[in-house]
Amino acid sequence: MKTCLLALAAAVVGGSLQFGSAAEISGKVTLKGTPPPERKIEFDPICGKLHDTDVYTRFYLVSKDGGLANVYVYIKSGLAPKTYTAPAEEPVLDQSNCLYEPYVMGVMTNQPFKIKNSDSLMHNVHATPKAPGNEEFNVGQPLKDMVTEKSFASREVLVRFKCDVHNWMFAYVGVMDHPYFAVTDKDGNYKLPADLPAGTYTIEAYHLKAGVVTQQVTIGEGEKKTVDFTLEVKPR
């Protein structure tokens, strides 16, 4: 009994019970080269009233030190076959001030997510997936705070969303059959979920304009590893 209690006490770290030590991968994506200038979005008169300053496209969002935002980073291969449970919280793709927010996001296969209209005007949500099993849909949302719930059945990088009412509105959703994906923040940083099993994996960083780069990474149990990527500006 005393031995069991000592083992239990040793497993308690920071006030929480630890049953094992999973691996963790994080890093930064940087852009090499000078991207073309972003284009000013030409809003219609109604949407233009929602903005006090000019708004530009989000093709290359780069921090001062070269960090590249909106890169979809995910484990492409190496995971053992199994069925993963999606988080209970449903991600939200919002339409706010005549823009999709976020511009890039991720969901799991068959995970419900919400598409919301936060504007007091008409939008429509037109998803154009290409992977077999993912169905195209086009849903009108004429009222403020309307919410439509959808999901995708198949893995796909990336599903394009557009608004046929406002031709500048686009968003992109990555769909994975596992939870080990992330989108880089405004500084180019990402972090995959921390319960990754030890193993050897191919990790891909995908950007809509700068393209794709992959790395093979071997990580042990409890190991924390930094995996950085560099993408290059593509010729126009």
Q: Are 214 and 202 in contact (CB under 8 A)?
A: yes
Higher-scoring residue by pLDDT: 9, 148: 148
Give the Cα separation of 34 and 51 in Å (integer): 28
Tokens at 53, concatenated: 């300053």
Give the Cα separation of 150 and 156 in Å (integer): 15
- Bridge-based pairing of strands 16-17 and 24-32 is unpaired
Report whether the peptide linkage leading into residue 36 is cis, meaning its omega lies within 30 degrees of zero.
no
Closest C-alpha among 19, 25, 21 to residue 222: 21
11-34 per-position pLDDT tens digit: 343 333 444 568 899 999 999 999
Least confident stretch, 5-19, 33-47, 97-111, 183-197: 5-19
**Quick one: pLDDT at residue 234?**
87
Q: Which amino acid is at 216?
A: Q
Q: Give the CATH number of domain 22-232; options: 1.10.287.1120, 2.60.40.420, 3.40.50.300, 3.40.1440.10.
A: 2.60.40.420
Write down the mean pLDDT value for the chain: 91
pLDDT at 177 over 90: yes
Where is 201: in which H helix or E strand?
strand 199-207
Q: Which amino acid is at 163?
A: C
pLDDT at 160 over 80: yes
Q: What is the mean pLDDT of residues 50-64?
A: 97
Higher-scoring residue by pLDDT: 194, 71: 71
**Quick one: pLDDT at residue 144?**
97
Tokens at 48, concatenated: 């233009």
Q: What is the mean pLDDT of residues 36-56?
A: 97
